[in-house]
Every structure is written in C-alpha cells, then in structure tokens.
Amino acid sequence: MLRYRLSVQDSAAVLSDDQWAAFVHEFNDTGEGIDRLLSNDCASLIESLPQQGFDATQIQVLLKRGVALAIASEQWIGVGVWVLGPHDDLYPKSIVDKLGFARAPILFGYGNIGLLDGKATSVHLGDKKLTRNEQMCEHLGALLAVHGQTVIVNIDRTQAASVLNGVLSREGCGVGLGIGDLIEKGSSHYYRDGVMNNSLTLLSLTPPNCDGHIRVDVVEEVIAALSGNHLHFA
C-alpha cells in the first residue's frame, strides 16, 4: 500500500525504502500496534509523528488507495499468486529476524511456502565466463540437489534458469527470487511444472506486472536472509 505501485499505469508517489524505514521507525516509537492504522483517528496519529524522512500527507494519500488495492490484489490472487507481508503467520521468520521488520519486503509468490525456511543454499552468479556456461550451471544445480540442498538464486540473473533446471532434473527443490514479472515466469514452461509439483517456489519483491522500484541489492539481502549457506561465483 505504502511502498508499491499497483499497476504499470499507477503513478502514486510510493515510499522509497528509506522513507518506509523512517515511517516504520517513528510509528514503532508511538508504541501503537499496526492495527492503529485501522482506527478512525489514524490521520491525527500520522500527523503527530515527527516526520523525519517522510511526509504525512503522502502517507495519507497512499492510504486512500483501498479500493484500488482490492482491485489489484483480486487480479494477483485470481491467477494464483500469493501475497505475504511481515504480519502474516506464514511469512518467513528468517527475513524478519535478519533484516528487521522495517526492511522486510512484501513477497509475491508462486509455489511452496514451506521451502522458505531459511536453510537453503544460495548460489550467487557473477559475470565471469564460467557462470555463463549453461551446462556448468545445470551441473551445479544437479549436484546441490543430489546433496539434498534447497537451492536459491536471483532469478533475474543470466543462467539462473539453468541452475534451477539442474536442481529440478534431480528432483531437488529450488527457490527463484527477483523483481521481475511473476506471472510471466510462473506461466513459462521452464518453471510451471516445478511450481505445480511443489519443488519450486518463485518469488518477486514487486507486484505482478508492476514497476515496484525495488533496488537490486534488496534482492541480494533477501536471498541472504533465506539462506543457510552461500556459494559465490564471481
């Protein structure tokens, strides 16, 4: 609501990561629960905050988008995308633990939430020639799968698909996380079967089909938060 545009055409002045963090920080200082934003006098509460690094009017304008959000989320849920915020019971604890509530992003996903238990092995693909080799990447994925590890990669990287392909070829489990269009990825033949048989989870930090203004380094942070082991290939 405060951080995301709801469609490609949405031109709402959403909060940047820093503004969001500042708002959450000040809001937490009031000692109020998030429920307070549901109250009739939430406007006066927001205005009473010191507003260092964000603007109360901006927040209130954003909070007026209730119906728009209902429409947008109907579209997401309608095609089977689930949406998890840090307040949800199923939200991965490891993200809140490692990043803190303020930085914990909303997750838009397809597939098995059970794979997000913070124990996966992350594979970070760099730019060297080695990691551009499709077969090598597939082999790597297969190898990790054979050792029973859930593999997590930045799905927007070149060859991320190859790694996941390798994982799935050995009946392993994988997680792909990025900021791209989740519906497009989930509906592609590369990933569809894996998602449907619960061995692959696709996550996006932005709503489907929307420009979310999420920095790429946030993707890396979230991957780190969801991983127990890290493999870097520079």
Partner 1 sequence: MSVQRQDKITTPLSDTVNESQKLVKLEKVGVLCLLRGILLAKTPSTEDTMDRDKALDCLREALGDETAKFRDGQWEAIDRVVNKREKLLVVQRTGWGKSAVYFVATRLLRDSGSGPTVIVSPLLALMRNQIDAARRLSLRAISIDSTNREQWGEIIECIGRDQYDVILISPERLANDQFREQVLNSIASGLGLLVIDEAHCISDWGHDFRPDYRRLVNVLKMLPQNTPVLGTTATANNRVVEDVQSQLGEMGVQRGELMRESLALETLDVPDQATRLAWLAQFVQSQQGTGIVYTLTKRSADQVSVWLCNNGIDAKPYYSGVSLSGFPESNSCREHLEMLLLNNHVKVLVATIALGMGYDKPDLSFVVHYQSPASIVGYYQQVGRAGRGIDSAVGVLLRGNEDSEIHEYFRREAFPNNEVVTRLLQQLSRGDGYSIRDLEGYFNLSYTRLAQLLKFLSVETPSPVVKRGTKWFRTPVPFELDQERLKFLTHQREEEWDEVCEYVVTDQCLMKYLRNALDDQSTADCGKCSNCLGHSVVNVSPDSQAIRDAMLFLRRAEMPLELKKQAAPNAFVIYDITYNIPTGLRGSEGRVLSRWADAAWGRKVKEGFEAGHYCQELVEAVADMIEQRWDLSASPPQWVTCIPSLRAPTLVADFAKRLADRLGLVFSPVIKKLLDNAPQREQVNRFHCCHNLDGVFAVDADMPSGPVLLVDDTVNSAWTLTVASYLLRLNGSGEVLPLALANTGGG
Q: Is 171 in the site for partner 1 (CB under 8 A)?
A: no
Residue 212, beta-bridge partner list = none
Can you tell me the distance from the alpha carbon of 191 to that of 168, in angstroms, rounded to the nearest whole number? Answer: 9
What stretches of the chain show up as alpha helix (H) in DSSP? Answer: 17-29, 42-48, 56-63, 66-78, 93-99, 134-146, 160-169, 182-186, 192-196, 216-225
Rounded (10°) angle between helices 134-146 and 160-169: 40
Interface pick for partner 1 out of 113, 143, 218, 224 (rule CB under 8 A): 113
Burial grade of 115 (CB within 10 A; 0-12, 13-18, 19 or more): buried
Q: Shortest approach of partner 1 to residue 88 CB, angstroms?
A: 5
Q: Shortest approach of partner 1 to residue 175 CB, angstroms?
A: 12
Q: Is 67 in the site for partner 1 (CB under 8 A)?
A: yes
Q: Is 37 in the site for partner 1 (CB under 8 A)?
A: yes
Cα 82 to chain centroid distance, Å, stands at 11
What residues numbered 47-66 form the site for partner 1, per CB under 8 A? 63-66
Residue window 181-210: x/- pattern of binding to partner 1, with contact defined by CB under 8 A: --xx-xxxx-xxx-xx-x---x------x-
Q: Is 148 in the site for partner 1 (CB under 8 A)?
A: no
- Indicate the pairing of strand 120-125 with strand 151-154: parallel
- Indicate the pairing of strand 82-84 with strand 107-111: antiparallel
Q: Is 135 in the site for partner 1 (CB under 8 A)?
A: no
Give the residue with the Cβ less far from partner 1, 57 or 128.
Answer: 57
- The answer to whether 177 and 203 have CB atoms below 8 angstroms apart is yes
Q: Is 68 in the site for partner 1 (CB under 8 A)?
A: yes
Give the residue with the Cβ less far from partner 1, 86 or 178.
Answer: 86
Interface pick for partner 1 out of 28, 30, 39, 57 (rule CB under 8 A): 39
Q: Shortest approach of partner 1 to residue 111 CB, angstroms?
A: 6
Q: Is 13 in the site for partner 1 (CB under 8 A)?
A: no
Residue window 70-89: x/- pattern of binding to partner 1, with contact defined by CB under 8 A: xxxxxx-xxxxxxxxxxxxx
